[in-house]
Chains A and B, each alone.
Chain A
Amino acid sequence: SQQGEEDPQALSIQEGENATMNCSYKTSINNLQWYRQNSGRGLVHLILIRSNEREKHSGRLRVTLDTSKKSSSLLITASRAADTASYFCATYAGGGSNYKLTFGKGTLLTVNP
């Protein structure tokens, strides 16, 4: 079953604009991670935010986490054509020895030059 669900499914913006993607999940988590996938390639880890953190930054990326609303957002500032990719959130949750990372269906971001 899908733990994280991204919104929107697709997003098209102009170069230089900011892109915001959201992720909602259903159960308590240990951490939430964002990954990027270029077409036909593997995923690349972008950023991890733990359940006791509210915001993290990495370069042009800003991630927020609201555990009360069970949601996270990924903001990419000053987007570039090279940012065109699918972005996935993944939640790390479970108990005992049964923790696992569960991925959402992703947001397809297109940045137009």
Chain B
Amino acid sequence: DGGITQSPKYLFRKEGQNVTLSCEQNLNHDAMYWYRQDPGQGLRLIYYSQIVNDFQKGDIAEGYSVSREKKESFPLTVTSAQKNPTAFYLCASSRDWATNEKLFFGSGTQLSVL
């Protein structure tokens, strides 16, 4: 069953705490992405990775960090520097960066602050 798996579905963060959102894909896609969605808003790009061991900042990277040590995995860490982290986080992948035919999305993680 191919696709993108995000975990956990719900996550709560305490003040000053770093939390990590998991994203795994078995589609053999080179490119992976993290988006943030606020209520009634579109998606904003946090980070993207064109290939293993490489990643680039998106439009709202401050307060976030990522790694891409394996092709199938692209975890996102929300650091304590992100002062307004409450949002719905979506991970996506595409076959490659250059063609960008379409994105495949995970089912999302809802992050809330305690």
Contact = CB atoms under 8 A, between A and B. Distances in A.
Interface of A: 1-2, 4, 30-31, 33, 35, 40-45, 48, 88, 92, 99-106
B90 interface: yes
* 5 tightest A-B CB contacts, nearest first: A42-B105, A45-B102, A103-B42, A103-B43, A105-B42
Given A42-B106, A100-B48, A105 B40 contact: yes
B38 to A, nearest CB: 10
Interface of B: 4, 6, 35, 40-45, 48, 58-59, 88, 90, 92, 97-98, 100-108, 110
A5 B45 CA distance: 16
B90 A42 contact: yes
A62 B112 CA distance: 38
Contact of A43 (B40, B48, B58, B105): B105
A67 B100 CA distance: 20
Contacts of A92: 100
B103 A2 contact: no
Which applies to chain A's interface (DSSP): helix, strand, loop or mixed? strand
B41 A105 contact: yes
B42 A106 contact: yes
A88 B100 contact: no
28 contacts: A1-B59, A30-B100, A33-B102, A35-B103, A40-B88, A40-B108, A41-B108, A42-B107, A43-B90, A43-B92, A44-B105, A45-B102, A45-B103, A45-B104, A48-B101, A88-B43, A92-B100, A100-B45, A100-B48, A101-B45, A101-B103, A103-B42, A103-B43, A103-B44, A104-B42, A105-B40, A105-B42, A106-B42
Given A42-B4, A92-B100, A100-B45, 19 more contacts: A1-B59, A4-B42, A42-B92, A42-B106, A42-B108, A43-B43, A43-B92, A44-B105, A45-B102, A45-B104, A48-B101, A99-B97, A100-B48, A100-B58, A101-B100, A104-B42, A105-B40, A105-B41, A105-B42
Nearest to B104: A45
A44 B108 CA distance: 12
